[in-house]
Structure 1
């Protein structure tokens, strides 16, 4: 295959992936999004979960109990405002996740590849990176927090 033939195939694959992503997003809540009040409550729940994870890690050897991806998503989701993504510094995200900046930036990159967050380098200061949750990331976290809020101890039996 020539390069000219490969480019349209790559474009078709890219369009298919975007359509798949949009279909998943529309399916989240059957097209119904949480109300502003419900989303505020879900963000408060996310803040509480992040705090609980921080407390647990402080009593245990935190290096064995750090989950940067979950902590980052909780922090970024909690920092979002109604109707839009809050812009947070990568440094604050890394600190909240309880990991060194290099580890946090690596995980932010992974979350970005999955379409859950978007990072931007400040054009005036290349050392500064900001992070925002994407619509897809917000939808995933809305579903997750709703499931926790609706049944916080479901599935746990002794």
Structure 2
């Protein structure tokens, strides 16, 4: 339970469900949002609010994601409220945003939606498996692993969709892991919106995975050093080492060049 004054930068008709969150006081932006005293800003992900206004508010930003989110809001959000989140989950995410650095914990709240708890448990299982893989591959041979090899593997996964229904394979976490390990080898930063595209699933599904894998320590959220308004997602060092270990095994078995 948190006590939080939140300025909502959108049509109040879109606040269905959010008023029920314990400890929230929803404040309309009114004609002068800068005069509103609040702890946190909340806006819809398709909002046309000028980014300069968000800069001047200087508040942590919680984005409510619907059907057509704007990429720039996804990339600068401190946290996400997603379709299907229950009141406890929303309150927990808001609390994490207000206490930056504690992680987006969504699995330990009483009453949290069952599918969210299951997703968090799966994310933790992935984290544990990656940790074990990292330990077991420390003595592996030095088979060559490259970003082009990983990109080729990703393309093969996308080609799969030409032969089977895309929703037959529910593994967005693996697609994101592959994209992040390739990006790290290329020295490329990956924004949240780009990672959602790489997941090849609806944005809200991808964001649930980003949130849960961040909680599990597989993903690390890092502020853009050149623009503090944006955030990038990277693999934790342990997750990266585990992925490199698996890719070396893959390269050895299939002799990719």
Q: TM-score range by the shorter chain?
A: 0.5 to 0.7
SS at match of 2:185: coil
The CA RMSD measured in Å over matched residues stands at 3.2
Report deviation, 1:28: 4.0
State whether residues 86 and 133 of structure 1, in contact with CA within 8 Å, keep that contact through their aligned partners in structure 2. no
Q: TM-score, normalised to structure 2's length?
A: 0.41
Greater shift, 55-64 or 70-79, is seen at 55-64
Encode CA deviations 1:50-75: one digit per residue, 9 max, x unaligned: 11111111332111224101100011
Asked whether the equivalents of residues 34 and 142 of structure 1 are also in contact (C-alpha less than 8 Å), the reply is: no
Cross-structure match for 1:133: 235
Indicate which of 79, 88, 101 corresponds to 2:183.
79
1:121: Cα distance to partner?
6.0
* Structure 2 contact 175–199 (Cα < 8 Å) conserved: yes
**Between Structure 1 and Structure 2, which shows a larger proportion of strand residues?**
2
Q: 243, 247, 250: which one pairs with 1:145?
A: 247
Larger relative contact order, structure 1 or 2 (CA cutoff 8 Å, min sep 6): 1
In structure 1, what is the equivalent of residue 199 of structure 2? Answer: 97
Instruction: Identify unmatched segments of 5+ residues in structure 1.
Output: 1-20, 154-158
How many residues are paired up?
124
The yes-or-no answer on 1:53 pairing with 2:152 is no
Aligned equivalents of 1:144 and 1:109: distance in 2? 24
Task: Check whether the contact 1:89–1:130 (CA below 8 A) recurs between aligned residues.
Answer: yes
Q: Which has the larger radius of gyration?
A: 2
Is the Cα contact below 8 Å between 2:134 and 2:245 reproduced in 1?
Answer: no
Shift of 1:103: 1.2
**Residue 112 of structure 1, CA deviation:** 2.2
Change (3 A) 1:90 1:34: farther
Which structure shows the bigger proportion of residues in helix conformation? 1
- Separation in 1, partners of 2:150, 2:198: 12
Structure 2 CA distance for aligned equivalents of residues 23 and 70 of structure 1: 16
1:98-154 CA-to-partner distances (Å, cap 9, x unmatched) read 0122211211223223322212466854xx54211121111110111011111139x
The TM-score normalised by the length of structure 1 is 0.63
Q: What are structure 2's unaligned runs of at least 5 residues?
A: 1-129
